[in-house]
Amino acid sequence: MSGFVKVVEVGPRDGLQNEPQALPVAARVELVEQLADTGLRHIEAGAFVSPRWVPQMADSGEVLRRLGRRPGVRFSALVPNQQGLEAALAAGCEEVAVFAAASEAFSQRNINCSIADSLRRFEPVLALARERGVRVRGYVSCVLDCPYGGPVAPQRAGEVAQRLYELGCYEISLGDTLGKGTPDATARLVEHCAERLPLAALAGHFHDTFGMAVANVHAALQAGVRTFDSSLAGLGGCPYSPGASGNVATEDVLHLLHGMGYATGVDLPAVARLGTAISQRLGRPNASRAGRALAAAGGERHP
Ligand code: HMG
Ligand code: MG
């Protein structure tokens, strides 16, 4: 296998949003900058959501402001509505992400509205973003399973993905938020979505609750997906997905991709060192198997 696979680092947002301990702005900025130094070219650095709902993401404006611009690197942030977009624009964000769900129950719990209302709410958000030259990515959460409603049909996820694409999102990240999906279901989902929108516009976003995340990345890769979201040290989860563990670890995804001959432009041992450091700082186990193995072997000598 050869070719390029894009890795979107979501640890500073999807990871940190679920940690019991909120990191101060300076530490969040430092982490994002260090991640950019490893060769990662797209890093989700914050969320302009209600600090009452997700206190860990408070002060994302300050994080994005301090990061500023860096040639060749994109720092993006989640926005749930117009208010979030305006705050993101004020902070100089070049890219934002809107997030809908394929499950009604999750949509209500996560953003306090129905799927249809969320999609309607995104229309003016995308229009304003377009006017300001800001790129918009779209997430669909709970594409395979929902913590409140059970299994989700690929058609349902496909409809929401297609709508976000039609609204102007340049890429749609398919999120197995609960982390219960299996490779066959992942392949079916990708095949279904690819009938509705270009394969090149799809990204995979897997959580590792049932230990399937790397297998699901592999299944999506075989089905043609070339963009994956991941989180250093497998940080995170979702505050509105009880029991869900962290995202697939960036280190594990890089190990898989590099082993299969794909280029990513990312320095795996460097990410592994950051994964070890952030796990220590947060006082949590490092959920990345590749990260732990590299640390045990003395990372630098074993790329
Ligand atoms: P709401 O309570 O329905 O909002 O929350 P509202 O419009 O009724 O406003 C209530 C208050 O919130 C008002 O303040 C607003 O100003 C404020 P008050 O007058 O009471 O002082 N407000 C905001 N504050 C800051 N930023 C904003 C904003 N909007 C309103 N943008 C809302 C609706 C969407 C705001 C809320 O439900 C929310 O913030 N939800 C975010 C939840 C979240 O971040 N979840 C985690 C991310 S999603 C995820 O993890 C899945 C994903 O990673 C994919 C995957 O893993 O599979 C993407
Ligand atoms: Mg996630």
How far is 152 from 145, CA to CA, in rounded Å? 5
| 3-state class (DSSP) for residue 107 | helix
Radius of gyration of the chain (CA): 17
Closest CA to 147 of 240, 20, 210, 245: 240
303 lies in some domain: no
User: Does pLDDT of 51 surpass 90?
Assistant: yes
As to burial, measured by CB atoms within 10 angstroms (0-12 exposed, 13-18 middle, 19+ buried), residue 71 is: exposed
Q: Which of 51-65, 130-144, 228-242 has the lowest mean pLDDT?
A: 228-242
* pLDDT score of 2: 76
| Residues with C-beta atoms within 5 A of ion ligand 2 | 14
What percentage of the chain exceeds 70 in pLDDT? 96
As to burial, measured by CB atoms within 10 angstroms (0-12 exposed, 13-18 middle, 19+ buried), residue 143 is: buried
Residue count (the chain)? 303
Residue nearest to atom 40 of ligand 1 (CA): 111
Closest CA to 7 of 303, 259, 250: 250
Alpha-helical (H) ranges within 7-114 are 25-37, 60-67, 82-90, 104-111
Confidence label for 268 from pLDDT (cuts 50, 70 and 90): very high
How far is 11 from 263, CA to CA, in rounded Å? 21
1 lies in some domain: no
As to burial, measured by CB atoms within 10 angstroms (0-12 exposed, 13-18 middle, 19+ buried), residue 17 is: buried
Q: 297 vs 9, 241, 290, 292, CA distance in Å?
A: 24, 34, 10, 9
- Whether residue 97 contacts residue 137, with contact meaning beta carbons closer than 8 Å, is answered with yes
Catalytic residues: 238
Averaged over 217-224, what is the pLDDT?
98
Closest CA to 14 of 176, 153, 135, 126: 176
User: Does pLDDT of 163 surpass 50?
Assistant: yes
Q: What CATH number corresponds to the domain at position 135?
A: 3.20.20.70
- Whether residue 205 contacts residue 173, with contact meaning beta carbons closer than 8 Å, is answered with yes
* pLDDT score of 299: 52
249 lies in some domain: yes
21 lies in some domain: yes
User: Could you tell me the distance, in angstroms and rounded to a whole number, from the CA of residue 89 to the centre of ligand 2?
Assistant: 23
How many domains are there within the chain? 1
How far is 42 from 215, CA to CA, in rounded Å? 23
| pLDDT tens figures, 33-43 | 999 999 999 99
* pLDDT score of 242: 72
- Ligand 1 neighbour 81 (Cβ under 6 A): yes
User: pTM for this structure?
Assistant: 0.96
Averaged over 226-240, what is the pLDDT?
89
CA atoms in the 13 A half-sphere facing the CB of 54: 26
Closest CA to 173 of 231, 134, 105, 125: 231
* pLDDT score of 32: 98
Question: What is the domain extent for residue 86?
Answer: 6-297
271 lies in some domain: yes
* pLDDT score of 245: 80
Could you tell me the two tokens for 53? 């709902």
266 lies in some domain: yes
Residue nearest to atom 30 of ligand 1 (CA): 50
Average pLDDT of the chain, as a whole number: 95
User: Could you tell me the distance, in angstroms and rounded to a whole number, from the CA of residue 238 to the centre of ligand 2?
Assistant: 6
Confidence label for 207 from pLDDT (cuts 50, 70 and 90): very high
Q: 120 vs 53, 80, 156, 158, 263, CA distance in Å?
A: 21, 12, 17, 17, 38
Burial 23-61 (b: 16+ CB within 10 A, else e): bebeebbebbbbbbebbbbbbbbbbbbbeeebebbbbbb
22 lies in some domain: yes
- Ligand 1 neighbour 233 (Cβ under 6 A): no
Q: Which helix (H) or strand (E) holds 164?
A: helix 154-167
98 lies in some domain: yes
Beta bridge partners of 70: 73
- Ligand 1 neighbour 178 (Cβ under 6 A): no
Averaged over 174-183, what is the pLDDT?
96
Averaged over 244-262, what is the pLDDT?
95
